[in-house]
Structure 1
Amino acid sequence: MQIHDLPTPALTIDADAFDRNLATMATVHPGRALRPHVKAHKCTALAAAQQAIGHDTFTCATPREIVGMAAAGVGTELLLANETVDDTRLRAMAELDVPVIVAVDSDATVDAATRNGITACLIDVNVGLPRCGIAPDEAGRLADRARRAGLDVRGVMGYEGHLMMVRERDERLTAVEQSMELLLRAHRDVGGPIVSAGGTGTFDQHGSTGVTEVQAGSYALMDIDYGRQGLPFEQAVFVVGTVISVSEGWSVADVGLKALGMDHGKPAVADGSVWFCSDEHLTYAPTERPQVGDRVQVVPSHIDPTMAMHDTAWIVRGDEVIDRWPVDLRGW
């Protein structure tokens, strides 16, 4: 099968660029120094490739991802880097054969974990992103409560997600160090072997901060936002579309809002300028006038929600389709 045989819109992964991205990250963070985040791709076959290169612990954003990874036999330890008080989902994770750690940031999340059989946790610490996470000065108290409730407190985690897109590297580094000071302060009160942080945008900026593992995920596939950061990773994922209409000054491809994560802005095309997307359409000004039926490669602005909109990732080398990976962790 060739790329032009695929029904569009089709999500494709360049096999060689993907392999190089994995190798680059594994050189910086080998083995358990990286806990890859599967929310970026929601694909157990892709996670298996990450495991094959040496990473055997994984980060998940949803209980469905945890259960799906366990069912696929990928990962020797799974972290739910998110809070949940859903009894059904917590019990489903507790019943798995693979060890599961959950993030907690309140008495309520500790209580929910313990009453449903969860045995291990990380204290989620707010390091500057106004999302989940307990105040650093409260982390020790919550850790003590969790231990009294019977949880094995493995350490702390803190996500400096507000810093991933800071453009200037030196400015980003200074801000990361400040966030990690908050996390390490909390860790001194909490204890445990794990200090978990980071993402693709800050993957190489923790240095001697005391972080023991980085939770990067987008590095494997990349997107427009991370592509602007000067990171040593290549664009590996494209949504292939078909030109379905050509007018004087613009063309339309069948890659719209339902095929792309748009929360970070417009996608890009190699040979033209994107004007806007609607439900099923991408309107762009091409560099050279295409023909109806031509194919166009669209680069998503945000990889995580883009992956979640497709049920299949087509693995390609050049124009040849060499494999098909189900995006089997999508949905709730």
Structure 2
Amino acid sequence: MRIDELQTPALIVEQSVVRANLDAMSAALPGDRLRPHVKAHKCTSLARLQADNGHRGFTCATIREVETMAAAGLGEDLLLANEVLDTRRLGRLVDAGHRVTVAVDSTETVQAAVDGGVREVIVDVNVGMPRCGIAPEKAGALADVARRAGLTVRGVMGYEGHLMLVGDEAERREHAERAMALLLSASADVGGDLISGGGTGTYAVNTWVDEIQAGSYALMDTAYQQVGLPFGQALFVLGRVISASSDWCVADVGIKALSLDHGNPAIDDAAVWFCSDEHITFAPEHRLAVGDHVRVIPAHIDPTVALHERMYLVDGDDVVDEWPVDMRGW
């Protein structure tokens, strides 16, 4: 079909751009140097392309993502880079032969791993972002607790998420070095053979970890565009103009179709004024008519994708495939 046959709003992904993004990242971080984070796209069809590029381990954010990846035959090495307090569903996957590692940062999450049947953990270390993660100086003691409980401690992970959108590359590298010094200090106490961290924003400057947990690079958004990364905008929310005035237009892409936590979305050759539940109001540089298509660029890719049940792979105006967003939900 062609895109004018799609019901809007709809997620569309430019085939050539996503392919170029995947290849560019694989060239920079080949094989095990990249552990793609599936939370950004929540789509096993896209994850399979990443696996075809030589990346056999994946990062997940939810139990649902781990389960769906395993069911799709992509469960060779799945890291749930998040603390969870009920790991029974993960333990069932381990019993079925999938390799699942879960992040821990407390004695409670260690015990949850034991109770649920998970056998491998990674110690999550706070490297400067005030979210999850144990203090670096306490990481070794927690690893000892985990080993005494019968778990294998694979190593450490630390997410410098507060640095992902720092605009200046030299500044981003300087701050990343400080953050990773904390992680390397914890690694010396924890042991294991894995140091994991990073993301799309720091993939090129974080040279201290063994693997980078990047995800947004595949599809991109306006927030990462501003950092000046060498990846193209592959994903858009396709909408249609439903009302046209002399100074502005309204399209059928609102808050229920994209995330605003990183600010307003963008439309090429237009100024976006605001979004409401079902609408985006914008001032185009060139006059548009009711029925015209617009491609809305989300400001934050991860939560935008999670709002949709499917994405359409396109080549210009031709729809060439349909990919379920099969990892959405919890």
TM range (shorter): over 0.9
1:95, distance to aligned residue in structure 2 (A)? 3.6
TM-score by length of 2: 0.98
Q: Tell me the CA shift for residue 110 of structure 1.
A: 0.3
**AA partner of residue 107 (structure 1):** T
Contact 1:70 1:97 in 2 (8 A): no
Deviation at 1:199, TM superposition (A): 0.2
SS of equivalent to 2:79: strand
SS in 2 for 1:20: helix
1:132 counterpart residue number: 132
- The Cα of 1:247 is off from its aligned counterpart by 1.2
Are the counterparts in 1 of residues 87 and 117 from structure 2 also a CA contact under 8 Å?
no
Identity of aligned residues (%): 58
Give the 3-state SS of the residue equivalent to 1:26 in structure 2: helix
Q: Match of 2:255, as an amino acid? A: L
Determine if the alignment matches structure 1 residue 223 to structure 2 residue 190.
no
- Is 1:45 matched with 2:45? yes
Q: Secondary structure at the match of 2:201?
A: helix
Distance 1:93 1:84 in 2: 15
AA aligned opposite 1:162: H
Alignment-derived partner of residue 303 in structure 1: 301
* Whole-Å separation in 2 of the counterparts to 1:58 and 1:90: 15
Alpha-carbon contact 1:14-1:315 (below 8 Å) kept = yes
Partner of 1:109: 109
Aligned amino acid, residue 188 of structure 2: R
Q: Is the 8 A contact 1:94 1:116 kept in 2?
A: no
Partners of 2:165 and 2:233 lie apart in 1 by 17
State the shift of 1:86 in Å: 1.6
Aligned letter for 2:143?
A: A
Mapped partners of 1:224, 1:197: distance in 2: 23
Give 1:92 shift. Answer: 4.0
Unpaired stretches in structure 1, ≥5 consecutive residues: none
Contact 2:62/2:82 (8 A) holds in 1? yes
Q: Deviations over 1:188-213 (max 9, x none)?
A: 00011100000000001122x2x100
Query: Which consecutive unaligned segments of at least 5 residues does structure 2 have?
Result: none
Match of 1:274 among 258, 269, 272: 272
Per-residue deviation, residues 156-182 of structure 1 (Å, max 9, x unmatched) = 000000000111111111000000000
CA distance in 2, matches of 1:73, 1:117: 21
Kept in 2: contact 1:153–1:192 (CA 8 A): yes
Residue matched to 1:7: 7
TM-score, normalised via structure 1 length:
0.98
Query: Are 1:97 and 2:87 counterparts?
Result: no
| SS state at 1:192 partner | coil
Alignment match, 1:321: 319
Match of 2:20 in 1: 20
Runs of 4+ with deviation above 6 angstroms: none
Task: State the partner residue of 2:196.
Answer: 196
